[in-house]
Amino acid sequence: MKSKSLILFLAIVLIISFFAYIAFFGLNIGKYEIVPAKDLIKLGLDLRGGVTVLLEAKDKPDDPINDEKMARAVATIRERIDTLGVTEPIITKVGADRIEVQLPEIQDPQRALDLIGQTAQLEFIEEETGKVILTGNDVKKAQAEFAPSKDGLGQAPVVAFELSPEGAKKFKEATERNINKIIGIYLDKNPISLPKVESVIPDGKGIITGSATMEEAGDLATLIRAGALPVPMETLSVTAVGPQLGANSFEQSVSAGQIGILLVFIFMIFYYRIPGLVADITLVLYLTLTLFALAAMKATLTLPGIAGLVLSVGMAVDANVVIYERIKDELHLGKTLRAAIESGFRRAFLTIFDSNLTTIIACVILFYFGSGPIRGFAVTLIVGVIISMFTAITITKIMLKLLTQGGILKSMRYFGERGVK
């Protein structure tokens, strides 16, 4: 009986260690590979670096915003971003009139911002009359290429464009009217090129000079090709995290968290002795299960998320503390250890149930009525509370019972109680 209990206890410890190992390090047996659960959890842009931009469509009374326009705006922004070669960009409509763009691990955030925010309304304007001849809608193709520079000595980056048949017709008429006059090319009312018309252009093909680099010409071509945003958008917020800085925050926060958790482990052993060690083992299981749960829910881990997770360990200990103090109470009443464990758990269960359910209720309400970060926080806390209830109540009980049967736990002295036999 004794040795059987101890073997079972060791088996449980081994199983927990095994799962903890998989969660943190993964497993690699031959061709079967299990990725560590911690790697399955997506890191937020604050930890891996990247840009988050929130845009808001500016409503005009004569031209109200509707879903169709917002959908076109999303599509336009997506097309612009595609040229940046970002892995997994996320572009989402938020509420009725906002668009959130997330670009992970981007190297040059400034360039991305220049591309995203502009309305990019292209206009060809007759200088003499100020009349708009063509807009971006008339352009069929646009691409960056090199053309002989004006001085004839080298090559300069330009945007070559081709107009739609209708646009070509309008352009032909306009060039006829404006020989030796200027037709300006404007992007969002800013002149990008002010060429003088030298001859009639009948085929709707032309170039836009004025780009300093090939990259600049490429971005301009992208803006023209993707077209103007159907509504002007205002940038509400921009957050850009340098990948190196993000990685540093991640490492430093994780190591701070590890030290905090380690100190809690030491405290528990110091105060509760062998049962304290049991609590620590269940805490390892708690952390492991929480990691698996977050991975399964495809949760994104952010900096406050790490803080929340570390903190939840401090709180998860509470269930164990409540149980152990209860068992001590029962022992003081003169019960045997086995009876004290049994009734201590039964009584502690009600306490833990009520206190945790209150927390869960608060979180569920926060989830329903909160937004973005608040919802993420609520979910993490709900998951943490439920898992800690399970690990503290069931696993601790099984392990304590096995230790008692195995003769390791003999009296309340093993709960760190001094001066009592």
Q: Which of positions 151-210 make contact with other proteins (CB under 8 A)?
A: none
On whether the CB atoms of residues 62 and 93 are closer than 8 A, the answer is no
Q: Which is nearer to other proteins, 8 or 315 (CB)?
A: 315
Q: Which structure tokens are listed for 152?
A: 């004839």
**Closer CB to other proteins, 106 or 168, in the complex:** 106
Give 402's Cβ-side CA count (13 Å radius): 18
Q: How far is the CB of 138 from other proteins (least distance, A)?
A: 28
What's the min distance (Å) between Cβ of 286 and other proteins? 13
Contact pick of 249, 300, 343, 405 for other proteins (by CB under 8 A): 249
Task: Report the residue number, 88 or 108, with the smaller CB distance to other proteins.
Answer: 108
Per-residue tokens: 317: 């200990």
Phi, psi of 105 (to 5 degrees): 50, 35
Residue (139 or 382) nearer to other proteins, CB:
382
Answer yes or no: are the C-beta atoms of 184 and 125 closer than 8 Å: yes
**What angle, 0 to 180 degrees and rounded to 10, lies between the N-to-C axes of helices 337-369 and 372-390?**
170
- Give the closest residue to 189 by CA, choosing from 228, 246, 230, 241: 228
Tokens in use for 212?
A: 């300093």
Q: Which stretch binds other proteins (CB under 8 A): 82-90, 134-142, 159-167, 323-331?
A: 323-331
Query: Chain-centre distance of CA 152, in angstroms?
Result: 51
- Residue 301 or 313: the one with the smaller Cβ distance to other proteins is 313
- Residue type at 5 in one-letter notation: S
Range in contact with other proteins (rule: CB under 8 A) among 12-20, 29-37, 106-114, 174-182:
106-114
The nearer residue to other proteins, 133 or 378, going by C-beta atoms, is 378
Classify residue 96 by burial, with Cβ atoms within 10 Å: 0-12, 13-18, 19+: exposed
28 Cβ neighbours under 8 A, 6+ residues apart:
34
Beta carbons of 88 and 104 less than 8 angstroms apart: yes
* Residues 99/92, Cβ–Cβ less than 8 Å: yes
Tell me: does residue 420 bind other proteins (CB under 8 A).
no
DSSP assignment of 299-323: -EE-HHHHHHHHHHHHHHHHHHHHH
Q: Which of 350, 418, 419, 421 binds other proteins (CB under 8 A)?
A: 350
For the beta carbon of residue 239, count every other beta carbon within 10 angstroms: 13
Region 360-379 residues binding other proteins, contact defined as CB under 8 A? 361-366, 369-371, 373-374, 377-378
Stretch that binds other proteins, among 5-13, 63-71, 219-227, 325-333 (CB under 8 A): 325-333
Between strands 132-135 and 122-126, the pairing is antiparallel
Residue 73 Cβ, how far from other proteins at the closest point, in Å?
18
**Binding-site member from 36, 72, 114, 201 for other proteins (CB under 8 A):** 114
Interaction of residue 255 with other proteins, rule CB under 8 A = yes
One of 44, 46, 139, 397 touching other proteins (CB under 8 A): 46
Least Cβ distance, residue 18 to other proteins (angstroms): 26
Neighbours of 336 (CB within 10 A): 12
Does the protein bind other proteins through residue 213 (CB under 8 A)? no
Asked if residue 96 binds other proteins (CB under 8 A), the reply is no
CA–CA separation, 132 vs 93, rounded Å?
Answer: 32
Report the nearest approach of other proteins to the CB of residue 211 (Å).
Answer: 17
Minimum Å gap between C-beta 321 and other proteins is 5
Q: Which stretch binds other proteins (CB under 8 A): 61-69, 288-296, 346-354, 402-410?
A: 346-354
Smallest gap, in angstroms, from Cβ of residue 351 to other proteins?
Answer: 4
Contacts of 50 by beta carbon, 8 Å cutoff, 6+ apart: 102, 103, 104, 105, 106, 240, 241, 243, 246
Total binding residues toward other proteins, as defined by CB under 8 A: 79
Please, which of residues 258-317 interact with other proteins by CB under 8 A?
259-261, 263-264, 267-268, 271, 303-304, 306-308, 310-311, 313-315, 317
Least distance in angstroms from the C-beta of 255 to other proteins: 7
Smallest separation (angstroms) from other proteins to the CB of 157: 20
